[in-house]
Structure 1
Amino acid sequence: MQLKRKAVALMALLLLGSAELQAQNDKMVLSVEKIMRDPKWIGTSPSNVFWSEDGKKIYFYWNPEGNRQDSLYSVSAEGKNLQKVSAQERRSLPGQRGEYNRAETKKVYEKNGDIFLYDVKAGKAQQLTNTVERESSPAFSHDEQRVVYMKDGNLFAWAVGNGQTVQLTDFRKGRKPAEEGKDAQREWLKEQQLALLQIVRDRKEDKDANEKQQKLDAPNRPKEIYIEDKLVNDVTLGPNGRFITYQLISRPKNSKVAVVPNYVTESGYTEDINTRTKVGDAQSSSEFFVYDTQRDSTYKVLMNEVEGIYDQPAYLLQQEAKASASTSAADSKTKKPAPREAVIYGPFWSNNGKHAVVVARSQDNKDRWILKLDPATNKLTLLDRQRDEAWINGPGIGYGPGEIGWMPDNERVWFHSEESGYSHLYAVNVNTGDKKALTSGKYEVSDVRMSDDKKHFYFTANKVHPGEKQFYRMPVNGGEMVQLTSFTGAHEVELSPDEKHLAIRYSYSNKPWELYVMDNKKGAKAKQVTHSLTDEFKSYDWREPEVITFKAEDGADVNARLYRPQNPEQNGPAVIFVHGAGYLQNAHKWWSSYFREYMFHNFLADQGYTVLDIDYRGSAGYGRDVRTGIYQFMGGKDLSDQVDGAKLLVDKYNVDPKRIGIYGGSYGGFITLMAMFTEPDVFAAGAALRSVTDWAHYNHGYTSNILNTPYTDSTAYTKSSPIYYAEGLKGALLICHGMVDTNVHFQDVVRLSQRLIELGKDNWELAVYPVEDHGFTEPASWTDEYKRIYKLFEENLKGKK
């Protein structure tokens, strides 16, 4: 009996061992080739989630079959009846984007260049236009009796009652004919003709009489507004129809557009791609006008009396002070500063139609104003001014008007500001100017909307942790923030039309995005709807990178993702990854947009590397001071954060200080170059991908905010551009770049290559990708690039040839 038990036990052990061995065999072994395949091998996450107008269905794009393109799917509000949407149903859906009336019973939208009016209750759409020309930007008039839209650069209105269409503006290219005849010589010839010839006088009288009669016969024709060669933008009809506001955009006349050659083409010839101007080149300017239909007159709204419009940036004042100090008193004459160029957005009218506000931003992006507008007098009244000697931005603020709306009392406007150092909600009274912070703390608020009953705000915030995004409800006048979502990670939430349900796209650091449904209640359980991952992807035990915090040299807290080998060796190798975009966050707890790099870091950890992924200064999610920490010096604190990260690896994680590599793309490639050139004793090897090498050759919108312009702040550009530091290269450098990169042009690395050649450097190589733009698309290109990166680290951090 005892022998029998021993035999059974032995058999069980053998079976268990066999099962464990089989599990090990089934577990995927990572390789660069496997990671960099078409991402469909992972499984395709649901995207572009939206509700049906009646709130009974959730629609989203998905691709569980691994087809070439995603398809439209639907599921009930309760998470049942998941199915692919038929072509007929898909074609019948109203446009996702549109404008609702206040009761949200009707919606206007553009579809295929025509305007439609949708009855939500009846579930039926009425086509209002059917033309070859495109109609766009539909909205309800304030009294909701008309649908207004743009066509051929003019504003039209369709009457709900009788279907009549009326043209509300008459913008015309060129100059007003009367103004074209101001030339003295031509005027003299006209007067001569009239004086000498009776037939000319008679015909002029007939013409003038006909024009007068036409105005009497058609008294409601809109005023002819001549716009020369400018562009019309943001045309808005006021509440009672009296005022129409619009922007006129003047395009730069002498700007030069950079050309990128495309070598691999269908024609067999090299073809040029026109891309963008370079920083500091001439930019478009904007003017804001009010068309008073009652007076039949147009007025330009001026910022000349607005507080701060004459204030010059601090860096220019410092330069002027230095220049004055070196100039004799007799020679120094201070000029009166001109008002800075500004762009006015809006207006945003209160629901009762009594008040209008506009948002204005200086073109140098160092000021943003919230202003009350009186369109009858063109008077602007300051409600709030945010000044930043670096640049204005942040969640809910951005580079345009930002998120803004009216409070239920129609006396206050809500908006975002970084006044406290973090983007928070504020409300200001348009009559008294009283301002109140509705949220506060060391976190950021984004994606704000007001509930239909005007009693609550819904928004996303990273209050729990900078690397988490949770969904909240809060009373409209401030108060307790009720956290509705609860999973660790990030939640992208779409409220149902009746606000009873939430459609949630959720992910965690090692779990790609999936769709969930949940009741709109605190503590409600979220139900998973989609299961997108392939068995192959799930066969590997993907790491949950530890999100750590360390102190930078200046005492600031810096967050990072840490990947560790299962059995790290003493004095082992390490790699630091630098995310791109500058203002982006990657040391977080949700599925990264850098998913290929995430998988590569798992692979590196399997090969014995410790990997650190740092949210350096300039990253999103941490407030104003971190966002602007790179002002006037890219390659300063953002690079020292990488150096401090390397020190952390040595001091705490058993990494050999001589076996640390660095890599990244775009901004991450720029930091890699700065690291290899200016901190050569810290980094033994680096891979710089699609890198900016000279900021004077990048675009204006991004670069001028951080470094001003090359001709006004040349020192900032010299300090921040790797090409000036190339002589410092000691370690092994790999440069990879797409030849048809329309963002960071291939010219960047061509110029740097010539500089390295002239310096006699021989420890670098350049890999080019003939068909790739800034973001690679071909799996073969990804594979080749990352095999080279891995080889670089193996040879220089492990000594393997």
Structure 2
Amino acid sequence: MKKITLYFAVGAVATALSACMTTEKPVNATPSTDAREVVKVVKPEVTPTGDESGVITLEQIMSDPDWLGRQPENPGFSLDGQSLVYSRKQQGSPIKEVFAASLTNPTQATDVPYDKRHLYKFDEKAVSAGGDTTAIRAGDSIFVYTNNELRQLTRGGSALRGIHFMTDGRLMAQTANRVIAIDVNTGVREQLVSWKFEDKPEAVKAPKDYIAEQQIELIEYIKNKRDDRQLMYDENKKFTNANQAFAPESVYFNKKHRLVTANVSPAGNYAIVVTTEDKPWRNDTDIMPHYIQEDGRIASINARQRVADAEPENHEVWLVDLSTNQKHQLEFTALPGYNEDVLAEVKAENAKAKGETYQVNRLPREITLLESWYWSEPSVRWHQNGQQVALMLEAWDNKDRWIATVDFGNKKLVNQHRLHDDAWVNYRFNQFGWLHQSETLFYQSEHSGYSHLYLQQPGQAPVALTSGQYIVDNPVLTRDDKWLYFEANKKHPGIYEIYRVNLTTKQHETLTDLNGVTEYELSPDEQHLLLTHSKVTRPPELYLSNVNSNSAPVQVTNTVSEQYLSLPWTVPQVVAVESSHTTQPIYARVYLPENYKQGAPRKAVVFNHGAGYLQNAHLGWSGYFREYMFHSMLAQQGYVVLDMDYRASAGYGRDWRTAIYRQMGTPEVQDLQDGVDWLVENANVDRQRIGTYGGSYGGFLTFMSLFNEPDLFQAGAALRPVSDWAHYNTGYTANILNTPDVDPIAYERSSPIYFAEGLTKPLLINAPMVDDNVFFVDVVRLVQRLIELEKQDFETAIYPVEPHGFVQPSSWLDEYRRIYKLFETNL
């Protein structure tokens, strides 16, 4: 699974800007598997090459980001594997062009014409077991590529999704309520399985009451008609089952359910069908008004459900024998912990607060196929031989995740790996699958405290392929089962390089040494890596490397604008701030003005990144690129700026992430206190001249800091902030705080609206009104609370056309002018 950086804070996902240039000297960091052993300060060597006398202005940095250079996006490879491919936005336009360059001459990219784009950018790709045939889905068509020849298999018609090759060479795909197989040579289609959510047709039904029963017994005419219907039904079924002119009968499921997924074995012998109760995802009150419309009216936009309204979800997993069309439910009783009352202590604490007593409940838990808001990969994985299948399941309370196989003979699940977390299982590190040549599983797990890779033969103990205090992500298995490629922050928490591990020897090879943030795509021939690399001061660029060569990667793109390079950006250092509450340091970016140790103590700003679970104190280009430029502007004017990866942040392991369980806003503010102390002791900062700001989760932390530690900061700006977690979404919030009906203590302990009386310092609240992530009502309710508390020193700015992540440059500029004015006025 591709690593994603969360930009929009609490739960929304945005693509990370993560990569760039290699002309810099290595970062001065000591390679280590222990995050606590790294040097205290990491200072990037390269600085922008522009005019050091230039002045950084808000008008420039908040303008349309095209001026930065329009970096490459969505890198990959062409259908034939001979070209690298990427997209790039047109100047001043939302249109994105597609570029391709041969692997032998990667720097000479050309624009791909419209009529050839399907050969370079496609929606799905499948490769046959032997690797000799490739199929792609592009637009509304399927193409097959073999022996250097491309053939179009379909064009238009019913949409096909989920293409895979079968063991007999046919191509399998889902369309509407069925899975079909297509002969890639003749185009002949065969329906493998179909499903319906309705009562199965019956020739005769059992009498519904006493009168109907007597009617059938007493009236021979009625009895004969029933017998004839049954006879004709049975005869027709025999005929259609035996005759090739008819597709197999549909499999019928509960009419109150809906499909979650249907997956057919490559051998065509079995299917896994997962269903769940068909419940509405929202109710009529889940709406968001949009005031600025073309017709001058107000639009009522459907919005998501709140976690306070969430109801438990449970899936049913069915094994369908395609030779008989019979279905068998695979019960969850084989999963260890399926009926544990994992929230017993939480429920007892909340019951005690009400003067009640809680009795332990051993009823089965709600269990689902892994369907996290973050997880987009298939959670049902067939071995390519079609004789084994693995499912990734999770408890709805997200305290457990299981990998289970299926015993086809006994029609039951067999647990292979249980991952339990008293807080919550990470929704990010869940890649798994089968080796190609053996019935062995590989998977990610965080059970050691960090995301690592494991091999496991069913029924045997797992074998660790990686270990240590670092994060492993984006594993890719080679076709010969020799290597697993991966990204990891081995040598420093803020540096991500590419590695591979030999599955036989378990030895690691380091494939890049670029000292920044690097991601990769493995070429179809598995001989090249297309790298996306960035530095702190340089946006992402593409590089091409040969996996079997020690030569340096070749830089493919160079898109950074001269205008950007001409400005004197501040290069932040990455420092390890000593923590008062943990043995691990708190990594942070610090922006230092020139001669900061000289003269009177400085004013400072502490920036709180969004998402909670996001890493920003790394050595690559930040998704918060506007904030990076704003911080450079502040440093140019004499401010010191600190940007901390407080507890809850990504990149530092399970315990760092789960420190906020049931107490959001407490560990993070403790870390901010340590950050303020560090600024005073190490950066010549005046403790009485420090402000703070952040968006979404960062806005939430601004609230919690000003409300609960009013002496910590002298002013704060909360942007698109969460004020009450009961109004946020289920997928994110229920993991950390459980649900409000189960754990109201956690919500009242973690929601700023309950602490608003603590506000004593100037507060700016900036709120987009078309925010379908953190609803505008979060600000509305908090403002009303502040009014009722007779608070005076707060100001609210609204943005009528903006979603959670602002789009209009005018909105960005207005927002940051207000933030800047807040700091200039109060610090």
TM-score, normalization by structure 2: 0.87
Q: Alignment partner of 2:539: what SS? A: strand
CA displacement at 1:31 relative to structure 2 = 1.0
Higher mean C-alpha deviation, range 770-779 or range 215-224? 215-224
Contact 2:50 2:568 in 1 (8 A): no
> What residue number does 1:164 align with?
188
Q: State the distance in 1 between where 2:713 and 2:765 align.
A: 15
Larger Rg: 1
Is the contact between residue 352 and residue 410 of structure 1 (CA under 8 Å) also seen in structure 2? no
The amino acid of 2:778's aligned partner reads D
2:783 aligns with 753
Q: Residues 94 and 600 from structure 1, CA distance in 2 versus in 1: closer, same or farther, beyond 3 angstroms?
A: closer
> Match of 2:621?
591
Deviation at 1:239, TM superposition (A): 4.3
Measured after TM superposition, the shift of residue 62 of structure 1 is 1.6
Which residues in structure 2 correspond to 1:573-584 (within 5 Å)?
573-584=603-614
Q: CA 1:604 to 1:155, structure 2 compared with 1: closer, same or farther past 3 Å? A: same
Deviations 1:493-549 (A, max 9, x none): 112222222211111000001111222235321121212122211111222210000
Distance (Å, rounded) in 2 between the aligned partners of 1:322 and 1:526: 57
Structure 1 counterpart of 2:367: 342
- Is 1:302 paired with 2:335? no
3-state secondary structure, aligned to 2:495: coil
Question: What letter is aligned with 1:155?
Answer: V
How far is 1:195 from its partner? 4.6
Question: C-alpha offsets along residues 326-368 of structure 1, whole Å, 9 cap, x if unaligned?
Answer: 999xxx8956511111124654333444433222211111011
1:279 partner amino acid? V
Q: Does 2:696 correspond to 1:666? A: yes
Cα deviation for residue 129 of structure 1 reads 5.5
In structure 1, the residue matched to 2:11 is none
The answer to whether the aligner puts 1:778 opposite 2:793 as a matched pair is no
Task: Say if 2:574 and 2:617, in contact at 8 Å, map to a contact too.
Answer: yes
Which runs of 5 or more residues in structure 1 are unaligned?
1-22, 398-402
Looking at structure 2, the residues matched to 250 and 645 of structure 1 have their Cα atoms a distance apart, in angstroms, of 48
1:58 corresponds to 2:84: yes
Which of 491, 494, 499 is 2:526 aligned to?
499
Answer yes or no: is 1:362 the counterpart of 2:395: yes
* Structure 1 partner of 2:24: none
1:268 maps onto 2:291 in alignment: no
In structure 2, what residue type is equivalent to 1:653? Answer: A
Counterpart CA distance in 2 for 1:333 and 1:308 is: 20
CA change 1:304–1:552 in 2 (3 A) is same
C-alpha displacement at 1:35, in angstroms? 0.6
Length-normalised TM-score, structure 1: 0.90
Structure 2 match to 1:49: 75
Quickly say closer, same or farther: Cα 1:26–1:659, change in 2 above 3 A. Answer: closer
Aligned: 1:475 with 2:475: no
**Partners of 1:606 and 1:333 in 2: CA distance:** 59
Indicate the residue corresponding to 1:32 in structure 2: 58
Give the aligned partner of residue 20 of structure 1: none
Unpaired segments ≥5 residues, structure 2: 1-48, 371-378
Distance 1:672 1:57 in 2: 47
Count of residue pairs brought into register by the alignment:
760
Q: For 1:512, what is the secondary structure of its paired residue?
A: coil
**2-structure distance, mates of 1:326, 1:285:** 29
Alignment of 1:167-186 (within 5 A): 167-178=191-202, 184-185=208-209
Equivalent residue for 2:27? Answer: none
Q: Quote the residue 2:470 is aligned against.
A: 443
Which of 164, 172, 181 aligns to 1:139? It is: 164
Query: Which digits, 9 at most, give the CA deviation of each residue in 1:624-654, with x for residues without a partner?
Result: 0111111000011111111110111111111
Instruction: Tell me what 2:173 maps to.
Output: 149
Q: In the TM superposition, what are the counterparts of 1:432-581 in structure 2 within 5 Å?
A: 433-477=460-504, 479-521=506-548, 523-555=550-582, 556-568=584-596, 569-581=599-611
| CA distance 1:27–1:74, change in 2 (3 Å) | farther
Q: Following the alignment from structure 1 to structure 2, what is the Cα–Cα distance between the partners of residues 592 and 696?
A: 30
Match of 1:428 in 2: 456
CA distance in 1, matches of 2:563, 2:358: 74
- 1:105 partnered with 2:132: yes
- Give the match for residue 12 of structure 1: none
The superposition leaves residues 93-133 of structure 1 with CA deviations (integer Å, 9 ceiling, x where unpaired) of 462522111222222332323433332x32403223631x3
Displacement of 1:178 in angstroms is 4.4
Give, in angstroms, the shift of residue 296 of structure 1.
Answer: 3.2
Cα deviation code 1:205-245 (max 9, x no counterpart): 54334322322222164243333132223211124322111
Q: Larger RCO: Structure 1 or Structure 2 (Cα < 8 Å, ≥ 6 residues apart)?
A: 2
What amino acid does structure 1 have at the position aligned with 2:448?
A: S
Q: 1:177 to 1:67 in 2, by over 3 A?
A: closer
In the TM superposition, what are the counterparts of 1:673-688 in structure 2 within 5 Å?
A: 673-688=703-718
State the 1:204 CA deviation. 4.2
Superposition pairs of residues 75-114 of structure 1, within 5 angstroms:
75-78=101-104, 79-93=106-120, 95-114=122-141
CA 1:253–1:181: 2 relative to 1, 3 Å: farther
Structure 1 residues 795 and 459: alpha-carbon distance in aligned structure 2, compared to 1, 3 A threshold:
same
Give the match for residue 214 of structure 1.
236
What CA RMSD, in Å, does the superposition of the two structures yield over aligned residues? 2.5
Distance (Å, rounded) in 2 between the aligned partners of 1:357 and 1:169: 20
Query: Could you tell me how far apart the structure 2 residues matched to 1:215 and 1:308 are?
Result: 43
* C-alpha spacing 1:748/1:63, structure 2 compared with 1 (3 Å): closer
Q: Residues 710 and 758 of structure 2 are in contact (CA less than 8 Å); yes or no, is this contact kept in structure 1? A: yes
Amino acid aligned to 1:726: A
Write the distance in 1 (CA, Å) between the matches of 2:101 and 2:281: 54
**How far has the Cα of 1:776 moved from its partner?**
0.4
Asked if the contact 2:497–2:518 (Cα under 8 Å) also holds between the matched residues in 1, the reply is yes
Distance in 2 of aligned mates of 1:324 and 1:756: 31
Q: Which residue of 2 aligns with 1:259?
A: 287
Instruction: Report the equivalent of 2:21.
Output: none
CA 1:566–1:709 in 2, change beyond 3 Å: closer, same or farther? same
CA contact under 8 A between 2:648 and 2:668: conserved in structure 1?
yes
2:18 is aligned to none
**Counterpart code for 2:315:** S
1:667, 1:691 within 8 Å by CA — same for their partners in 2?
A: yes
Change (3 A) 1:620 1:204: same
Match of 1:734 among 764, 768, 773: 764
Cα 1:183/1:694, change in 2 over 3 Å: farther
Among all aligned residue pairs of Structure 1 and Structure 2, give the percentage whose two residues are the same amino acid.
37
Contact 1:44/1:66, CA 8 A, preserved across alignment: no
> Contact (CA 8 Å) 2:757, 2:786: kept in 1 or not?
yes
Distance 2:80 2:216 in 1: 70
Name the SS for the 1:377 alignment partner: coil
Q: 1:451 to 1:650 in 2, by over 3 A?
A: same
Contact conserved, 2:401 with 2:420, CA < 8 A, in 1?
A: yes
Report the CA distance between 1:434 and its aligned residue: 2.0
The alpha carbon displacement at 1:202 in A equals 5.5
> C-alpha deviations, 1:453-494, integer Å up to 9, x for none?
221111111101111110112201453321111111011211
> 1:427 Cα shift?
1.3
Q: Give 1:194 deviation, angstroms.
A: 7.9
Q: Where do residues 635-654 of structure 1 align in structure 2 (5 Å cutoff)?
A: 635-654=665-684
1:750/1:649 Cα in 2 relative to 1: closer, same or farther (>3 Å)? same
Moved more, 64-73 or 378-387: 64-73
Correspondence for 2:438: 410
In the alignment, is the contact (CA less than 8 A) between 2:203 and 2:229 conserved in 1? no
2:645 partner letter: D
Q: Name the CA distance, whole Å, in 2 between partners of 1:391 and 1:222.
A: 43
The whole-number CA distance in structure 2 between the counterparts of 1:633 and 1:590 is 30
| Residues 723 and 321 of structure 1: CA distance in aligned 2, closer, same or farther (over 3 Å) | closer
1:130 alignment partner in structure 2: 156
Aligned partners of 2:402, 2:392: CA distance in 1, in Å? 6
